Structure 1
Amino acid sequence: MGRADERRARQGGGRRATPRRSPGTVGSAPAGTRAAARGKSGKSGIRRFFTWKSVLGSLFGLVLLGMGAFVVMYMLIDIPAGNATAQQQSNVYKYSDGSMLARTGKLNRENVDLASIPKDVQRTFVAAENKSFYTDSGVDLKGTTRGLLNTLSGKGAQGGSTITQQYVKNYYLNQDQTVSRKLKELVISLKLDRQKSKDYILAGYINTSYYGRGAYGIQAAAQAYYRKDAKDLTVEEGAYLAALLQAPNQYDWAIASDTGKKLVQERWNYVLNNMVEQHWLDAGKRQAMKFPVPKTPKAAPGMEGQTGYLVSAANAALERQLVAQGTASNLGDAEAMVTAGGWTITVNIDKKKQTQLEQAVKDTLTSKLDPHKRPVDGDVQAGAASVDPKTGKVVALYGGENYVKHYINNATRRDYQPASTFKPLILAAALEEEAKTQDGRAINPNTIYDGTSGRPVKGSEIGFAPPNEDDQNYGDITVQTAMNKSVNSVFAQMGVDVGMDNVLKVANSLGMDTKGLPAVPAQTLGTMGASPLEMAGIYATLDNHGRKVTPAVVKSAEHKDRTVTFPNPVGDEVISREAADTVTSVLTGVVDDGTARVSVRDNPARNGQQVAGKTGTSDNNKSAWFTGYTPDLVTSVGLFGEGANPPHKQVTLTGATGLLPGKGRVNGGGYPAQIWAAYTFGAMGEVSKFDLETTQGAAVQPTTQPPTITQSPTTEPPTTPATQSPTSEPPTHTPSSSTPTTEPPTEQTPTTEAPTTPETSPTSTPDNPTDPLKPNKPNKPNNKE
């Protein structure tokens, strides 16, 4: 053996190395065997590197590193000086042209000694937020860790803070959702708990927390909600204020939705039950307690007229965006950020159009109201919103006669039914889903339906047989005519044909909040809640050829400490252009030959302007609507019957302004359409025409006359709906130049002329037909149109 062979043998462990062979040599190892050997060798290498000892050691090292970092932070971070008052600044609000709208500023807070607040009231806050407050170390490590992880993952904070931590956030830091702020909060809370008494911390917490209505601290909150000093609060009232802190905007009784009212009552019960559990409240006294409904809020000085409505709408939009972009964890924190000041907020409101809208409401409606002469006139509330469909900008908004006198913004409230202004959404769903009738005919503006009043719908497990306005029978009519005359029985059947789940899906895509609504036929009458701003956005999407328009009140919001970016109000296509344009085409018929013709078509200021729109009059005449549009401007006007005296229940509008009681209904084609016309024809600019891609609807020139329609039968109407398909495609319907004799009268200024047909008895149906209906048992809500 040569020297080279000996050297190789020594390197191979003393054995003579195996001679190398080429791949093709007999006796060489197969390729698969070699690969397996390499894989086995690699795996064993990874195992040697990631042993349980190495993993455990790494984790232990990370824990030690984290503990060391926390110790350093604890040594370096001191309790800062309080900044809640120092940070308070004015908010400046500007119109779209940069001119001044309003300035707000003074912090509504008055500190009170804890000793002056009843002990049981103090305990309501502990029961609501932190039952272990008197025994904990000031922090909730588990909740804080969860909050940090949520912040890092972009989910925002999700509770877990003690009263001490919340006080530190409110008074020493801010509401920002950042990791550094949360770590500071943790350190300062630990130090504060060691250096100060629990009473000191609790006093600071209830004196600096934000309660909504612009109120910081329990004294301001007691005045804002119950018009009394904090020392005079009852346990029940204290429990409401404590419950309020979780979501001041959502839980404010004056502006809360039905869901919000339910949630705050549940929270109120939770607080009191915790007090019983902690032996702070006698169980017998607890059972006797009743929910203390807060007083109606009062507006701050300087917010008179429309100013307060515009400011509140701008604040609400900014608060939602702060939550959406993760700057605030919830609307309560966002509201506190905005109220703390330092903002310059420019709204999209056009100063000239705003003035024109206010004047239109005054000239057309409010100047005719005389509550001293007619008590019902004191129940009339008007709201309106006007949107540019091409940009999504809210160019004008009418919230009520005076923000100081009526706190609720009628332009954004969602507690009244939009009634028949919902019908275009049913047609949009039918066109978008390419739906068919029960006997297989495609649904379009020319489709024939049975317009018999009270006809039971077919194809639904839930019985439903709505009457038409004044129980009018129309016989076989086209969809176009049914829309013109707002025939309930036709659209109830159409909703079933399309599928109510599909109707609500399309309505949601257009901009209506349909979350949680039952998919029942009664929804076809517009029995859900909606606001004028919401309806303006929906119709703006139709006007914009199916591209989603989300009305934008705020143009920009600037602050020295944070940046807010607002999304584009105009989004992607949510329904096809053909579907949207066909609905627009059909809605021109409502103006030219339907329920809006007197107020809109015949208005001398129209000057040939093409208009699409829909009227609506709800159950028992509690609301009346007109939502209409030109190619460049969409405006929704609603009138709402709201009791002038607490508890401000929904009441009828019938008889308002001197219209004959019992028969003088405030229809959508009356005052709402008149307000719309007075405003729009003055604000629209040049006369324009719709650019529609459709071959259907009233905008298309007919080739033949439409079929004769029986509108006022002198004989008993048929007991069963017609089911035969027409032998040929019915001709396109076009507006008639003559005024139909069966159209319900539109209210004008008071006259001695009464409607020709009495109003259907309001006792025939429940007030809220949105409740689930029993199968196979027809239900007849009393919506008029």
Structure 2
Amino acid sequence: MGRADARRAQARESRQAAKKGGIRGFFTWKKLLGTFFGIVLLGMGAFLALYLYVPVPAPNAMAERQSNVYQYSDGTVLARSNNGVNRQIVDLAQVPKQVQHAFVAAENKTFYKDQGVDFKGTTRALFNTLSGKGKQGGSTITQQYVKNYYLTQDPTVSRKLRELVISLKVDQQQSKEQILAGYINTAYYGRGASGIQAAAQAYYGIDAEDLNVSQGAYLASVLQAPSQYDWSTATDTSKRLVEERWAYTLRNMVEMGWLEESERARQKFPEPQKPKPAQGMEGQTGYLVEAVNKELDKQGISAEDREAGGWTFTLTVDKKHQRQLEKSVEKELESQLDREGNKTDATVQAGATSVDPKTGKVLAMYGGEDYVKHYVNNATRQDYQPASTFKPLVLAAALENEAKTQNGSLIGLNTVYDGTSKRPVVGSDTPFNPQNEDDRSYGPISVQKAMNSSVNSVFAQMIVDVTPAATKKTALAVGVPDKEFPERPAVSLGTMNASTWDMAGVYATLDNHGRKVTPHILQSAEHRARTVKPEAPKQQQVISRASADTVTSSLTGVVQSGSGRAASTSAYQAAGKTGTSEENKSAWFAGYTPELTTVVALFGEADGGRRQVSLTGTANSGRANGGGFPARIWADYTLGALGGGSDATFDLQDVERGEVPAPPTPSVAPSQEPTPSEKPTPSDTPSRTPSEKPTETPPSPSLPPTSSPPPVTPPTKTPTPELPPLPGEGDGQPGERPGGGGAQGE
């Protein structure tokens, strides 16, 4: 081989050696190991930087948002205001221990020992996310809590990395009990329920504290796939899967020592109840919630506080009383109305308030036909006149002030007045000569009989004798609102504005022997961070017991033999007063028994409440007076609310200047009352005409009693009529007009 060949061979060998040496030199084990540790150190540094950089954020708004619960006095739920989410956070101590363990057994058996993360599961989830397989499980309870409470549900790499870091920090900063509580209170269980309390209600109709281990295991199982595992909608396959998940949870509890094998063997799969519609504001619910919210404002719990949620508001409302009131309105009024085919019926609105006369607690309230159809609360609205339900307060003022008639006689139940219709009042700077019902004149008539028949001319003169200013003072003291309260003779006919709520307080004060009763509907307001229990309104003696009891005595006569006879029954003792405002725009019955005070009213309204219209023609029954629909509603409700009757009697003491009338034999029981079409009305069947009035007219507006008052005797239940029934006796309420006349009332 020549030199040239030798040189070429040597060059070729050199190139090959250089090539082999370069590759081997680059992939040496030392370099590979160094690179690996470099990457690990770089990753650790990056994770450390991430750990230092990523803080534990504030909770997301939806995680802390809760619903408010409104409940009856017995604790049953009336309504929930969702505020965008159905959740009520409960303390972990309120969840049975075995139910707590069921969640841990289902989701994360090592929860009490781990550091808050599952690196293997998280790595798998990251890989699946990067490979496009979507959201995957495998997270610890801590990680799921962090995702629900601090982050979002987005299946992104950045969110998963943040979840990992925050979970480590949360595990260091919070106890396992805090984390578990946060988890079960933020998780979504299906059926619109977020948190274990809402889930317990949605699936089993009970509170979280009442869950048993099987129910807890089901709720823990359903978290894996809420829509798929909801028993009411699950396919056969899904039912099999959730039963297997439930059994798996119980087996894990046995394995962890949280459940005895013998107890596990006794467990049966707890099928949940069928889903129920969310409780909304329909019917009477919205009116009750609205009334509570107004009271909450006065207690310092603002709309902003309520918006944050988490409150449990307990009402004073008795569920049985409330249901009875609704039934009575339906039976005695709504079932007889043709709201679609009768223009008058379409304008009729009913309102009612019933209170405990000893405490002022609102036991039942009727706000209208349906809150979602008629937003104005007819129980609390103050835009109608209470009419002749005010007349008892004129008498109360006369008694309180020891007022005298124009001829100097003390005013009492036996005082005789001139009951001539359209008789001008004497002693007033403001002329007033009101017309009585049907323009009927009574001639000389006692205050008791004038109250029974609601004689306008008598009470117009009486308020002049007392003075409107003194009457107003008494009226405000017992609870009439100081709103458009003119100090003129016409106010004797109730020309100010008031609500059934207001008048229930007024009549409860009379029922309570003159001690002020203030209606209230909030029993308590409880929150995890704050509890409000309103103090019961103080009951001061605003009028004397003698005055209050004398008025009660008078009002028993109205029920027994006067315009309120539709409320009369032998099942209970009652006192009450009817009222019909000018032009028949409202009709009232305010009455009470020794145990219950209730005011019922009808209102005629049109144009969404912007215009008041006449009730005449309601259910084709002529004039709608207080002794008709309102009294019948009152009677039916009272009989039901009292459980069919009561032996309680009015404890009347010191009745002033007048006898307690002996109760007559009750007319018919409320259930036997004729229908509106059968009942006589004042306008079409008067038993006496003006021509039948006594011809003798007294020389003065009032006459002294013809004899000294007989001894005071309480009402009995073996009555004899004081007067023959007079279907035409009603509740006149003309307005005050120039010249003194007015449209006749009830």
2:362, 2:520 within 8 Å by CA — same for their partners in 1? Answer: yes
2:728: which partner in 1? 744
1:313 matches 2:313: no
2:583 equivalent to 1:620: yes
CA displacement, residues 619-667 of structure 1 (integer Å, 9 cap, x when unaligned): 1111001011100000100000011x446411011011112xxxx1001
Partner of 2:611: 649
Q: What is the match of residue 745 of structure 2? A: 784
Distance in 2, matches of 1:489 and 1:745, equals 14
Could you tell me which residue of structure 2 aligns to residue 199 of structure 1?
Answer: none
> What SS is found at the alignment partner of 2:372?
coil
2:25: which partner in 1? none
Is the 2:504–2:599 Cα contact (8 Å) retained in structure 1?
yes
Cα 1:463–1:336 change in 2 (3 A) is farther
Distance 1:723 1:351, change over 3 A: closer
Aligned to 1:548, the other structure's residue is in SS state coil
Q: Indicate whether 1:549 and 2:486 are aligned.
A: no
Cα–Cα, structure 1 residues 87 and 504, in superposed 2: closer, same or farther, change >3 Å? farther
Following superposition of structure 1 onto structure 2, how do residues 570-649 of structure 1 map, counting pairs within 5 Å?
570-597=538-565, 599-601=566-568, 606-643=569-606, 645-646=607-608, 648-649=610-611
The structure 1 residue matched to 2:628, chosen from 653, 670, 677, is: 670
Q: Give the distance between the partners of 1:646 and 1:515, measured in 2 at CA.
A: 23
- Report how many aligned residue pairs link the two structures: 466
Q: Secondary structure at 2:741's aligned position in 1?
A: coil
Q: Does the aligned pair in 1 maintain the 2:460–2:490 contact within 8 Å?
A: yes
Match of 2:469 in 1: 501
**Conserved? CA contact 1:91–1:344, under 8 Å:** yes
Q: Hey, what's the Cα distance between the residues in 2 that align with 1:514 and 1:636?
A: 19
Report SS of the residue matched to 1:579. Answer: helix
Q: Counterpart of 1:549 in 2: which secondary structure?
A: coil
Look up the equivalent residue of 1:310 and give its one-letter code: L
Q: 1:83 to 1:586 in 2, by over 3 A?
A: farther
Q: Any conservation in 1 of the 2:427–2:465 contact (CA below 8 Å)? A: yes
Contact 2:454 2:729 in 1 (8 A): no
**Of residues 620, 633, 654 in structure 2, which corresponds to 1:658?**
620
3-state SS, counterpart of residue 628 of structure 1: strand
Amino acid in structure 2 at the alignment position of 1:550: T
Decide whether the 8 Å contact of 1:389 with 1:541 is kept in 2: yes
Structural mapping, 1:472-483, within 5 Å? 472-483=440-451
Q: Is the 8 A contact 1:392 1:570 kept in 2?
A: no
Q: Cα 1:102–1:379, aligned 2, differ >3 Å: closer, same or farther?
A: same
Cα deviation code 1:428-460 (max 9, x no counterpart): 111111111122110111111111111111111
Matched residues in 1 for 2:59 and 2:741: separation? Answer: 61
The verdict on how the C-alpha distance between 1:385 and 1:698 changes in structure 2, with shifts beyond 3 A counting, is farther
Whole-Å separation in 1 of the counterparts to 2:630 and 2:381? 17
Work out whether residues 390 and 570 of structure 1, in 8 Å CA contact, stay in contact via their aligned partners in 2.
no
Query: What is the distance in 2 between the residues matched to 1:607 and 1:615?
Result: 20
Q: Is the 8 A contact 2:435 2:743 kept in 1?
A: yes
Q: Distance in 2 between matches of 1:405 and 1:384?
A: 18
Offset from partner CA, 1:177-203 (integer Å, 9 cap, x none) = xxxxxxxxxxxxxxxxxxxxxxxxxxx
Amino acid at match of 2:371: Y
Per-residue displacement from partner, 1:183-239 (whole Å, max 9, x unpaired)? xxxxxxxxxxxxxxxxxxxxxxxxxxxxxxxxxxxxxxxxxxxxxxxxxxxxxxxxx
**Contact 1:625 1:638 (C-alpha < 8 Å) held by counterparts:** yes
CA shift in 2, pair 1:520/1:726, >3 Å: closer
How far off its partner does 1:558 sit? 1.8
Relative to structure 1, the CA distance from residue 590 to residue 719 in structure 2 (aligned partners, 3 Å threshold; closer, same or farther) is closer
Equivalent-residue separation in structure 2 for 1:455 and 1:321 (angstroms): 50
Q: Partners in 2 of 1:717 and 1:413 — Cα distance?
A: 44
The aligned amino acid for 1:654 is T
Change (3 A) 1:715 1:635: closer
Which of 68, 82, 93 lines up with 2:70 in the alignment? 93
Alpha-carbon offset, residue 744 of structure 1? 1.7
Q: In the alignment, is the contact (CA less than 8 A) between 1:711 and 1:742 conserved in 2?
A: no
Q: In the TM superposition, what whole-angstrom CA distance separates every residue of 1:89-127 from its partner, at most 9, and x where no partner exists?
A: 31110100011111002259xxxxxxxxxxxxxxxxxxx
- Structure 1 residue aligned with 2:346, among 378, 387, 398? 378
Q: Would the alpha carbon gap of residues 435 and 87 (structure 1) be closer, same or farther in structure 2, given more than 3 Å must change?
A: farther
In structure 2, relative to structure 1, the CA distance for the partners of 1:580 and 1:100 (3 Å cut) is same
Letter in 2 for 1:652: S
Unaligned runs of 5+ in 2: 1-56, 86-277, 664-687
Cα distance 1:620–1:741, how it changes in 2: closer, same or farther (>3 A)?
Answer: same
Q: Contact between 2:461 and 2:701, CA under 8 Å: does it hold in 1?
A: no
Change (3 A) 1:84 1:745: farther
Tell me which amino acid in the other structure corresponds to 1:564: V
Check the 8 A contact 1:641/1:652 in 2, yes or no.
yes
CA change 1:721–1:88 in 2 (3 A) is farther
Quick one: distance in 1 between partners of 2:603 and 2:555? 23
Q: 2: distance between equivalents of 1:518 and 1:472?
A: 27
Could you say what secondary structure the match of 1:477 adopts? strand
Pair 744,503 (structure 1): closer, same or farther in 2 beyond 3 Å:
same
Alignment CA distance shift 1:364-1:516 (3 Å): closer
**Residue 219 (structure 2) aligns with:** none
How far 1:778 moved relative to its partner? Answer: 3.8
SS of the equivalent of 2:358 reads coil
Tell me the equivalent position of 2:367: 399
The CA deviation string for residues 685-714 of structure 1, in whole angstroms up to 9 with x for no partner, is 432111010345563559xxxxxxx98444
CA 374–695 in structure 1, closer or farther in 2 if over 3 Å, else same: same
Structure 1 residues 652 and 301 mapped into 2: Cα distance closer, same or farther (>3 Å)? farther
> Shift of the alpha carbon at 1:725?
4.1
The 1:741/1:398 distance shift into structure 2, 3 A limit, reads: closer
- Partner residue, 1:682: 640
Distance 1:308 1:320 in 2: 19
- Using structure 1 for the length normalisation, give the TM-score: 0.56
**1:525 matches 2:509:** no
Superposed CA offset, 1:113-154 (max 9, x none)? xxxxxxxxxxxxxxxxxxxxxxxxxxxxxxxxxxxxxxxxxx
Alignment of 1:725-744 (within 5 A): 725-726=703-704, 728-729=706-707, 737=721, 740=724, 742-744=726-728
From the superposition, tell whether residues 715 and 480 of structure 1 become closer, same or farther in structure 2 (CA, over 3 Å). closer
- The CA deviation string for residues 40-77 of structure 1, in whole angstroms up to 9 with x for no partner, is xxxxxxxxxxxxxxxxxxxxxxxxxxxxxxxxxxxxxx
Q: For residues 689 and 448 of structure 2, what CA distance do their matches in structure 1 show?
A: 15
TM-score by length of 2: 0.58
CA contact (8 A) 1:455 1:720 kept: no
> CA offsets, 1:511-556, max 9 Å, x none?
1112552211111110111111111111000000111100111111
Distance 1:366 1:539, change over 3 A: same
Does the aligned pair in 2 maintain the 1:357–1:396 contact within 8 Å?
Answer: yes
In the TM superposition, what is the alpha-carbon distance from 1:600 to its structure 2 partner? 1.8
Amino acid at match of 1:621: N
Cα pair 1:512 1:530 within 8 Å, conserved: yes
For 2:603, what is the secondary structure of its paired residue?
Answer: strand
Contact kept, 8 Å, 2:351 with 2:368, in 1: the verdict is yes
The alpha-carbon deviation at position 720 of structure 1 amounts to 8.4
Alignment-mate amino acid for residue 629 of structure 2: Y
Amino acid paired to 1:780: G
Note closer, same or farther for the CA distance 1:727–1:342 as it changes in structure 2 (3 Å cut): closer
The structure-2 alpha-carbon separation of the partners of 1:736 and 1:454, relative to structure 1 and needing over 3 Å to count, comes to: farther
Q: CA deviation at 1:730?
A: 5.6
